[in-house]
């Protein structure tokens, strides 16, 4: 199930499903570890002898955010129980503390006792073995702990700080379902401690007047030991949860709107999703600089692994969107992270954990009995290209000085060495991580990277290196046209496989990644060859259903829905591929009328977003349901990039300033 309304601060990330159940709790790194392992953290209501968890039938749910901030606005209503709940969630912008404020509205004409129950199913460190949970008389809350990871669950209800009631017990051991069952009669057992595979539930009792309301605030503190979580609990009491939530709401609104961009040429929905995309991206970025692809643990059921890693490709493209949006501190953190993890030879491996260690991979070190590099060369090239975009925007010489060798000279030198006799890159894996060969997108990204390295070298007075990098890029551009362009077909091959005699076997499958040709500077957007190829992609990859959008490539099998009518549905529609086409329309526009052709595609993305603004990786071509992971950081970054490219082009065509024209 897609994740909705994520809240976080770069250290703690809390993500919900569409039923308003917490499903993921990450700390102390965004993406690592997930202390819930995707299990349900239930939230329920008892009133007048009746009980319902919020995922039960009978509830209406609206899951959204406060405008332009990272505080949620959730409305739940159950007419059978006669209650309406207004909930607000946030992770403090400064400390690892999650808050939920619940205002209970009584829909009946008589006063009523209402009990709220919060259930915790933790597997600390992603293992349920050896956990402990106990009632803590010092704070009046519950503490879950193992080794150097502690969570304190507490709150403030009608009486005083501290939970009104609680239960601790075992889960998934023999016939033990968990303490959530204990809540369903409205009374908890108050068992004070449990060990092993454990869970817990806390409760708060409210007296709600006729047609009136009452408030409960619940919080989770995370720390390395009991003293840390106790200190955070003391801080919450001293500052008050309401004050901490208010400052968090104000901070994120200031952060997201600080640039004062003028969105007037675009629909209001585009402006709103732009701001929301900034904020959702921020929840997916670790304090150490790792830009995580997605944090949605349900994907483990499909692949046995998560997307909670940094791919240098995703990181580079997301950092570029952040640069365009004026969020240079985050792009700086990403490049510092990249400089720490790049191999000494000058290339990146497949992906990395947020700690900087090498992550899981399916790229082999040996193939057909021969040793190979388990890499996607575009990942290395895109980091160099994106660093140049960052520097052009901010001119932060002191920052780039320390990155010049590890992220410019060494990778550019390696890319020159990693070429075949024709001047094209040697085989590596494609950006979709499915095929090994010489890929059009990889070629375009290396050309862009070598051009970026040459520009850096010129500025530091290294004319010899600049000439070497520039000549390598030009030779590769010529080789790309000579070997990958087909005049007869009027398009490029997406992949070339060496034939052993200095030539290549060509794969002409339509693939949206060809947008790298103009986006990365290999060719101009209005080059006749690019125009011909882009029109071919629109004809072959558009999804001809009510949902629309563009597929990745013809016959895409990843999470495939349509398996028969591939002419009508060549693959599931993706956000990034649809927006790549929009970016081409923007780049080749020579009038406001031509520029406006991209607006329906931006509006298409707005329609695909959830009510909260979350964008998935891809969508069901018939129902529009979110498929694969959600939110996908790259999807939100592509939207930001496209919207800002539109405003930049609008300025170029009209002379009207929008506050983004000076950026890369």
Give the pLDDT confidence of 582-623 residue by residue, as tens digits. 999 999 999 999 999 999 999 999 999 999 999 999 999 999
Q: Is the peptide bond before 33 cis (omega within 30 degrees of 0)?
A: yes
pLDDT, residue 174, reads 85
Mean pLDDT of all residues in 377-394: 98
Cis preceding linkage at 631, omega within 30: yes
* Nearest-angstrom CA–CA distance, 415 and 384: 11
Percent of the chain with pLDDT over 90: 95
Helix (H, G, I), strand (E, B) or coil at 661: coil
Please enumerate in sequence order all residues whose Cβ is within 8 A of that of 319, keeping only pairs 6 or more positions apart, or say none.
Answer: 291, 330, 331, 334, 335, 386, 390
Average pLDDT over residues 460-474: 97
**Distance, CA of 168 to CA of 166 (rounded, Å):** 7
The alpha-helical segments, DSSP class H, found in 74-224 are none
Is the model's pLDDT at 410 over the cut of 90? yes
> Pick from 322, 333, 335, 324: which is nearest to 278 by CA?
322
**pLDDT bucket at 663, cuts 50 / 70 / 90:** low
Higher pLDDT, 299 or 9: 9
**pLDDT at residue 175, rounded to an integer:** 81
DSSP 3-state of 340: helix
pLDDT for residue 662 is more than 90: no
Segment 479-505 shows an average pLDDT of 97
Tens-digit pLDDT profile for residues 11-42: 999 999 999 999 999 999 999 999 999 999 99
- Cα separation, 547 vs 346, in Å, equals 43
Q: What DSSP letter does each residue of 525-539 carry, written as one string?
A: TT-HHHHHHHHHHHH
> Which of 28, 221, 42 has the alpha carbon at shortest distance from 139?
221
Residue 240: its pLDDT value, please? 95
Report whether pLDDT(245) > 90.
yes
- Mean model confidence pLDDT for the chain: 96
Does residue 485 surpass a pLDDT of 60? yes
List the structure tokens of 655: 């002379």
Contact between residue 481 and residue 424 where contact means Cβ atoms under 8 Å apart: no
- Domains detected in the chain: 4-239+250-254 (2.70.98.10), 259-654 (1.50.10.10)
Which band of pLDDT confidence, cut at 50, 70 and 90, is reported for residue 157? confident
Q: What is the CA radius of gyration of the chain?
A: 26
- Please enumerate in sequence order all residues whose Cβ is within 8 A of that of 621, keeping only pairs 6 or more positions apart, or say none: 543, 545, 547, 549, 561, 562, 569, 572, 573
In this prediction, residue 183 has a pLDDT band, given cuts at 50, 70 and 90, of: very high
- Place 161 in a pLDDT band, splitting at 50, 70 and 90: confident
Q: How far apart are CA 166 and CA 100, in angstroms?
A: 18
Across residues 366-381, what is the average pLDDT? Answer: 97
8-state DSSP, 520: T
Can you read off the two tokens belonging to residue 594? 């031509």
Please tell me the predicted confidence (pLDDT) of residue 1.
64
Averaged pLDDT, 84-89: 98
Which pLDDT band holds residue 304 (cuts at 50, 70, 90)?
confident
Structure confidence by residue, pLDDT tens digits, 508-543? 999 999 999 999 999 999 999 999 999 999 999 999
List of E strands, 95-251: 97-106, 112-120, 131-136, 141-146, 149-156, 165-170, 193-196, 198-208, 213-223
Q: Say if residues 204 and 164 touch (Cβ distance below 8 Å).
A: yes
pLDDT at 362 over 70: yes
Predicted pLDDT at 35: 98
Helix, strand or coil, per DSSP, at residue 159: coil
- Report pTM: 0.97
């Amino acid at each position: 199930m897609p994740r909705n309304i994520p809240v976080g601060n770069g250290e703690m990330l809390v993500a919900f499903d569409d039923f308003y159940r917490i499903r993921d709790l990450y700390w102390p790194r965004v993406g690592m570890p997930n202390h819930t392992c995707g299990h349900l953290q239930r939230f329920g209501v008892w009133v007048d002898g009746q009980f319902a968890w919020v995922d039960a039938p009978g509830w209406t749910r609206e899951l959204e955010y406060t405008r332009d901030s990272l505080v949620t606005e959730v409305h739940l209503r159950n007419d059978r129980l006669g209650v309406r709940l207004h909930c607000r969630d946030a992770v403090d912008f400064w400390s690892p503390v999650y808050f939920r404020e619940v205002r209970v509205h009584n829909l009946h004409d008589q006063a009523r006792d209402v009990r709220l129950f919060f259930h915790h199913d933790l597997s600390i460190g992603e293992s349920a073995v050896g956990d402990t949970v106990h009632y803590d008389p010092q704070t009046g809350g519950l503490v879950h702990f193992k080794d150097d990871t502690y969570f304190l669950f507490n709150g403030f209800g009608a009486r005083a700080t501290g939970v009104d009631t609680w239960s601790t017990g075992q889960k998934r051991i023999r016939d033990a379902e968990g303490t959530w069952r204990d809540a369903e009669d409205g009374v908890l057992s108050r068992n004070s401690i449990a060990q092993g595979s454990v869970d817990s539930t806390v409760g708060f009792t409210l007296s709600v007047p006729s047609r009136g309301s009452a408030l409960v605030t619940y919080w989770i503190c995370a720390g390395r030991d009991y003293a840390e979580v106790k200190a955070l609990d003391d801080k919450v009491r001293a500052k008050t949860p309401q004050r901490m939530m208010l400052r968090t709401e104000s901070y994120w609104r200031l952060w997201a709107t600080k640039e004062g961009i003028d969105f007037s040429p675009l629909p209001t929905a585009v402006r709103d999703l732009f701001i929301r995309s900034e904020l959702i991206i921020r929840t997916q970025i670790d304090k150490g600089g790792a830009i995580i692809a997605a944090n949605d643990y349900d994907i483990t059921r499909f692949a046995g692994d998560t997307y909670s890693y940094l791919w240098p490709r995703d990181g580079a493209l997301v950092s570029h969107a952040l640069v365009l949006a004026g969020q240079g501190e985050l792009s700086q953190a990403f490049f510092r992270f990249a400089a720490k993890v790049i191999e000494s030879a000058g290339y990146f491996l497949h992906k990395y954990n947020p700690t900087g260690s090498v992550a899981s991979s399916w790229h082999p070190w040996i193939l057909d009995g021969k040793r190979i590099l388990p890499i996607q060369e575009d990942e290395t090239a895109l980091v160099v290209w994106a660093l140049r975009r960052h520097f052009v925007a901010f001119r932060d010489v002191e920052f780039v000085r320390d990155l010049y060798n590890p992220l410019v000279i060494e990778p550019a030198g390696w890319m020159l060495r990693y070429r075949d006799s024709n001047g094209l890159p040697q085989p590596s894996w494609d950006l979709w991580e499915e095929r090994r060969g010489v890929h059009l997108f990889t070629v375009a990204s290396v050309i862009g990277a070598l051009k970026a390295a040459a520009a850096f070298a010129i500025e530091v007075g290294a004319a010899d290196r600049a000439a070497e990098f520039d000549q390598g890029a030009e030779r590769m551009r010529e080789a790309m046209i000579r070997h990958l362009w087909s005049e007869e077909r009027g398009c490029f091959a997406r992949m070339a496989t060496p034939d052993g005699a200095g030539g290549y076997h060509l794969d002409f499958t339509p693939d949206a990644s060809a947008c790298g040709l103009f986006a990365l500077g290999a060719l101009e957007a209005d080059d006749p060859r690019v125009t011909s190829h882009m029109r071919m992609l629109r004809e072959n990859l558009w999804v001809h259903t009510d949902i629309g959008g563009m597929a990745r490539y013809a016959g895409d099998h990843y999470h495939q829905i349509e398996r028969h009518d591939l002419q009508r549905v060549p693959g599931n529609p993706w956000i990034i591929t649809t927006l790549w086409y929009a970016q081409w329309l923007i780049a080749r526009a020579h009038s406001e009328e031509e520029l406006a052709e991209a607006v329906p595609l931006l509006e298409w993305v707005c329609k695909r977003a959830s009510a909260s603004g979350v964008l998935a990786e891809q969508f069901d071509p018939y129902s529009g349901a979110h498929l694969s992971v959600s939110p996908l950081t790259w999807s939100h970054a592509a939207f930001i990039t496209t919207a800002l490219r539109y405003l930049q082009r609008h300025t170029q065509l009209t002379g009207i300033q929008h506050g983004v024209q000076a950026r890369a």
